[in-house]
Amino acid sequence: MTPHSILAEVAPFADVPVEVVIELDRRTMRLRDILELGVGSIIPMPKTAGDYLDLYVAGAPVCRGEVVALEKNAGVRITVFEPRA
């Protein structure tokens, strides 16, 4: 199934907003470390340009993407589109 075939099926709902989540990392932290967090605290993230991550739409995984460096930000280039039922 391609993005275009999915869009054809859901055309009547195409303007409905849905939540998109791009997951950078999941980790386990000690409660002590969480309680020490404050404004300005930094939690290191393992993802850098060239790494891959998952993209979820309405809670369902739909594609994988590559982290890319933009001028002042980071972005995600979609590399695999595989919606799952």
Distance separating alpha carbons of residues 27 and 45, to the nearest angstrom: 10
Per-residue pLDDT of the chain (85 residues; tens, 9 = 90+): 666 777 778 788 888 898 888 887 788 999 999 999 999 998 877 777 788 888 888 888 888 899 888 888 888 899 988 766 5
What's the confidence (pLDDT) of residue 48?
75
Q: Which residues contact 49 (CB under 8 A, 6 or more apart)?
A: 67, 68, 69, 74
Which value, to the nearest 10 degrees, does the dihedral of the CA atoms of residues 29, 37, 58, 48 take? -80
Ordered structural domains, the chain, with CATH: 17-81 (2.30.330.10)
| Among 57, 79, 73, residue whose Cα is nearest residue 10 | 57
Distance separating alpha carbons of residues 35 and 31, to the nearest angstrom: 6
Single pTM value for the model: 0.61
